Structure 1
Amino acid sequence: MDRMKDIARWLADDARHDTVEALFAAFCREIIHAIAPVSRASLGLEVLHPEVSGWQHVWTDQSLSVRESERATAATSPSYLNSPTRIVDETGRPFRRRLKASCPDMPLLEELRLAGATDYVMYPLPFLDQTRTAVISFATERTQGFDAASLDGLGLATRFLSPYLERHVLRRIAVDLLDTYVGPRTGQRIIEGRVDRGAVEMIEAAIWFADLRGFTLLSERSPIPDVLAHLNAWFGTIGEVVEAHGGEVLKFIGDAVLAIFPISAGQDRAAACRKALAAAQEFCGRTEIENDLRRSSGTSPVAHGLALHFGAVAYGNVGASHRLDFTVIGPAVNRASRLLDLAKRLDQQVLVSHALAKEVDQPLVNLGRHYLRDVEHPQRIFTLPGHGRVQAPFNPCC
């Protein structure tokens, strides 16, 4: 019991809690010192992410490795189905096997046996949330394996460690969900505590507004799974391109996307505008390639509209007292939306406002002055060369 008190005190006062890796590696060393000669330990923690199922940390006295599992295949992979983890997940109880004979039903245990392990035990971590995998296992090469006192000590030490690990998992889930649903820049602000309704900051940003053409007709004529696949493929391309150029997707609105390219520290307006314009060019190029593939496979091509504008926006929380939306609002956002409407009326793929065009040194195509709905004066409008009906290239900076 004195040794168990030492581990509990070490966890409370001396252990490194900054990362799971540091905490787990140090915990394993404490286990060897206080309880049993563990030769290998493994920690499996499931998170909540659209692409990643969770982490597996594997410790030996030589190294610590970390591997992420893909969500799409984690629950059906042979490595999970034929593993102690599945048994512990299903029973909620510890699993132990002496490794005296071959283990054809569990390749992992057979691998450990051949490497010299004599005993293996896995414990469920008693997290408050029991809906996701949280397990820890230990193997030893000691000839007699784990004795009763060692098993009791390992189980108790696991329970001591559990709440510290759950804190890491809960924070990882919170960060991942915020990144997934509102974006990393916005998510960081929320987790920092900027959740007061009406609390906004004024920023300058290039604004991206895009939508699909003919989406209503597609929805009427196609099965829902086909519509969702079509929409997700299009959104996926936008998300990749916007993030690659330093922007952030703020929201999906039906078949439309709102994204911003804010002015970063040490940069000027021109840098944000160049990023937005470069992203638009890459997006159009990728869409054309993907449309060629769709045509060759007998699938309808994707038509889209895209509006680029630059201006000051209020970036922060709006909404009801118990249901907030972290977004951008202001005249610049409204003008970007109206510019997208105009793109459809002019049958143009891409429209660029004068406010953004004047910040870049790339020649654009002048489409003249046009009225935007609810905007009093006509606005100078441009497009990218080669996208839609075009006239002679015009440099808006001149």
Structure 2
Amino acid sequence: MASAITTLAADAPTLSAANTGFMLICSALVMLMTPGLAFFYGGMVRVKSSLNMLMMSFISLGIVTILWVLYGFSLAFGTDSGSLIGWSSDYVGLSGIGITELWDGYTIPVYVFAVFQLMFAVITPALISGALADRVKFSAWALFSALWVTVVYFPVAHWVWGAGGWLFELGVIDFAGGTAVHINAGAAALGVILVIGKRVGFKRDPMRPHSLPLVMLGAGLLWFGWFGFNAGSWLGNDDGVGAVMFVNTQVATAAAMLAWLAYEKLRHGSFTTLGAASGAVAGLVAITPSGGSCSPLGAIAIGAIAGLVCAMAVGLKYKFGYDDSLDVVGVHLVGGVIGSLLVGFFATGGVQSDAAGLFYGGGLEQLGKQAIGVFSVLAYSLVVSAVLAFLLDKTIGMRVTEDDEVSGIDQVEHAETAYDFSGAGGGASSRSTAAHAPAAAASKKVDA
């Protein structure tokens, strides 16, 4: 008996300083993605809405952080109840957790796992905001975010990743958030825009990005942070799976960017910076659920398919008449669906699990599981998000007035503008004016 106890003690995980440090770095990288998303979205809107777009992402860092500590972590990762939701009183307020208490089965503290998952919870509602640009009251958005993470994100995170969650137990593979993050946010975006309607001037007025350099900066920050988002989701570095995911993240993103640009060139005749940035994000989205189960060659295929299909999908809003301002549906919903379903084709059975896809002799079983995960999350998020938006619209109102939208939501909602062109001093125009002032004065004297 004593020897058995000794063996069990030896086999029990112990805190790994290396894995703990790695996961803290990954958590910081995922946190950086939310400001990166703010820049990405902020550059894509018109000047009069850019601050509002930045704030719709930044506010998530405040609201979701507090809710996660109070009860979100408990709902998502507490003891399972009916395979639908979790709850552990020790996780409420993160008050009953020992500083060296390990996450079950891993070598990192519970606190580290909690803060890593917090950053996923933060960015998910921020993703939704891109579909609602130019027209939503900031107070209504803040309240919607709080309600949405409570009744949609926290439960879905438990379904997908929580021990006992029904999709987790079914065997749905979602390495880092294709269902829980991207399909969840994309479906929510569609549900809300179907309720609140189109922007003033949709399909009529030009609504071009005001700062493509900001878009590229944001895309670069997202790409950089996504390595923490994806590779960190294995929660350690002990068996090489995280390294495969890191490689696949880079490979799929590159393939998607090239595929999007090729489609643009053939369809519209140009290679655009917006297309490069959007294609990269589409690849990042698609590899998020699938990169831990496929080979690098599979990642190339997944990225290329996602880049091509998402590039085609962004135009559907004009065909069907829904105003997805910054293509959240076309990139995140469609990309998440593609990446999640392609697990059923490209899973090798030799990376994160022994589940194999159709192309590796696994038949259709895993594809069926993936489809259940995809369409259950899509339907739940779409319906509940639309109901939340409808209730808020009928009570406090979701949209600013038409006059406020036309004049600019930044000034109305935040009493600020992104760029101040009225300041004195500096700049070529002021120097030019100063240089011409003596000549102008002399001309006036002659005229007199």
Asked whether the two chains share a fold, i.e. TM above 0.5, the reply is: no
Which is bigger in relative contact order (C-alpha 8 A, separation at least 6)? Answer: 2
If you compute each CA radius of gyration, which structure gives the higher value, 1 or 2? 1
TM-score normalised according to structure 2 size? 0.26
TM-score normalised according to structure 1 size? 0.29
Kindly indicate which of the two structures has a greater share of residues assigned to helix.
2
Kindly indicate which of the two structures has a greater share of residues assigned to strand.
1
